[in-house]
């Protein structure tokens, strides 16, 4: 009997270890335990450069809250608010007519924000920042997205059409890097994986990046879309860690088979 109890405990422990997201820093780069202060650029501001993720990769970094362990956004027993949970009634009604097969990411179209509540990831689970005093470059892996964020105080550009990832400008608020993004197209969703989350071209995202030490990056965000939402969506704070590799991958996207599969499945599921 005692052995069975121990077996039981062991099974549960192993299961939870794989389901639970790793804690920040758990799988960070060698030396993470002795993380020093955030490195700084020549101008004295924190250097955000690095490959950032939730502490592990696909196949391990899954489960509650996803990589980084999204926290906040609701009390005990209250699910965190999502973008779609704040839809106006007419928008919510229209969203109910959409489903998994309508997800633009099936056609290799990126998200406007990010599935794991991390814009730096887009639809993946890892992103890279290359920072200089004049420009911060944010690179996403899965769909090859990028954002070029000037830091010299210039306004948003007015000479380009709306884009999947919008147009970003940045500024420093003490040691916090604030990124303001507008000029989005309205043919993307906020998230992927069939989470119905269309938005309008009035989407406005303000993110605050803070490298709290050498291995830890905290990100907070506020998402406004007055045409679609009853109030701004305050994104739960995400805590990322430095990945133990120094570059993301470049892999193609076709999505042809996946889209066809989802279309066929939709016909089986709903008859249309």
Partner 1 sequence: MKRTVRIVLAWSLASLGFAAAAWAHHSFAAAFDMNKPVTVQGTIVQVRLENPHSWFFLDVKDASGKVERWSFEAGTPSGMIRNGFKASLIGKGTQVTIKGFHAKDPSQNVGMLRELVTADGTVYGLFGSQQGPGAQ
Q: Is 4 in the site for partner 1 (CB under 8 A)?
A: yes
In whole angstroms, what separates CA 128 from the centre of its chain? 12
Rg (CA), the chain: 20
Task: Enter the tokens of residue 225.
Answer: 């879309």
Q: Is 141 in the site for partner 1 (CB under 8 A)?
A: yes
Q: Is 12 in the site for partner 1 (CB under 8 A)?
A: yes
Rounded-to-integer distance, Cα 51 and Cα 130, Å? 9
Q: CB–CB of 15/7 below 8 Å?
A: no
Q: CB–CB of 52/24 below 8 Å?
A: no
State the maximum Cα–Cα separation within the chain, in Å, rounded to a whole number.
73
Rounded-to-integer distance, Cα 184 and Cα 149, Å? 15
Nearer to partner 1, 135 or 264 (CB): 264
Q: Which of 84, 125, 190, 205 is the binder for partner 1 (CB under 8 A)? A: 125
Rounded-to-integer distance, Cα 159 and Cα 192, Å? 29
256 φ, ψ (degrees, to nearest 5): -60, -55
- Quote the least distance from Cβ 52 to partner 1, whole Å: 14
Segment near partner 1 (CB under 8 A), from 69-77, 105-113, 216-224, 226-234? 105-113
Q: Is 6 in the site for partner 1 (CB under 8 A)?
A: no
Question: How crowded is residue 11: how many other Cβ atoms within 10 Å of its Cβ?
Answer: 10
Q: Which of 83, 113, 121, 143 is the binder for partner 1 (CB under 8 A)? A: 143
Nearer to partner 1, 106 or 205 (CB): 106
Q: Which of 39, 63, 80, 162 is the binder for partner 1 (CB under 8 A)? A: 63
Q: Is 192 in the site for partner 1 (CB under 8 A)?
A: yes
Nearer to partner 1, 12 or 135 (CB): 12
Q: Which of 27, 49, 105, 119 is the binder for partner 1 (CB under 8 A)? A: 105
Task: Enter the tokens of residue 91.
Answer: 């928008």
Q: Is 234 in the site for partner 1 (CB under 8 A)?
A: no
Task: Enter the tokens of residue 230.
Answer: 């009853």
Q: Which residues bind partner 1 (CB under 8 A)?
A: 1, 4-5, 7-8, 11-12, 14-15, 18-19, 57-60, 62-63, 66, 99-100, 103, 105-106, 108, 123-126, 141-143, 192-194, 245, 248-249, 251-255, 257-258, 261-262, 264-269
């Amino acid at each position: 009997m005692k052995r069975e109890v121990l077996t039981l405990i062991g099974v549960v422990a192993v299961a939870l270890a794989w389901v639970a997201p790793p804690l920040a820093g758990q799988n960070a780069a060698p030396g993470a335990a002795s993380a020093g202060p955030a490195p700084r650029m020549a101008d004295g501001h924190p250097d955000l450069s690095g490959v950032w993720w939730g502490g592990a990769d696909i196949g391990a970094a899954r489960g509650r809250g996803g990589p980084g362990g999204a926290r906040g956004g609701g009390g005990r027993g209250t699910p965190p608010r999502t973008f779609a949970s704040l839809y106006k009634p007419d928008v919510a009604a229209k969203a109910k007519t959409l489903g998994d097969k309508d997800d633009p990411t099936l056609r290799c179209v990126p998200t406007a924000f990010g599935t794991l509540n991390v814009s730096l990831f887009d639809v993946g689970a890892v992103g890279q920042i290359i920072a200089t005093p004049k420009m911060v470059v944010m690179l996403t892996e899965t769909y090859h997205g990028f954002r070029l964020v000037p830091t010299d105080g210039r306004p948003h550009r007015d000479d380009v059409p709306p884009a999947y990832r919008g147009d970003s400008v940045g500024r420093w608020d003490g040691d916090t890097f604030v990124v303001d993004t507008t000029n989005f197209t309205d043919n993307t969703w906020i998230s992927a994986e069939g989470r119905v989350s269309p938005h309008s071209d009035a989407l406005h995202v303000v993110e605050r990046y803070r490298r709290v030490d050498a291995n830890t990056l905290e990100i907070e965000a506020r998402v406004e879309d007055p045409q679609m939402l009853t109030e701004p969506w305050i994104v739960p704070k995400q805590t990322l860690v430095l990945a133990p590799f120094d570059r993301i991958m470049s892999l193609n996207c076709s999505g042809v088979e996946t889209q066809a599969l989802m279309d066929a499945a939709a016909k089986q599921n709903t008859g249309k």
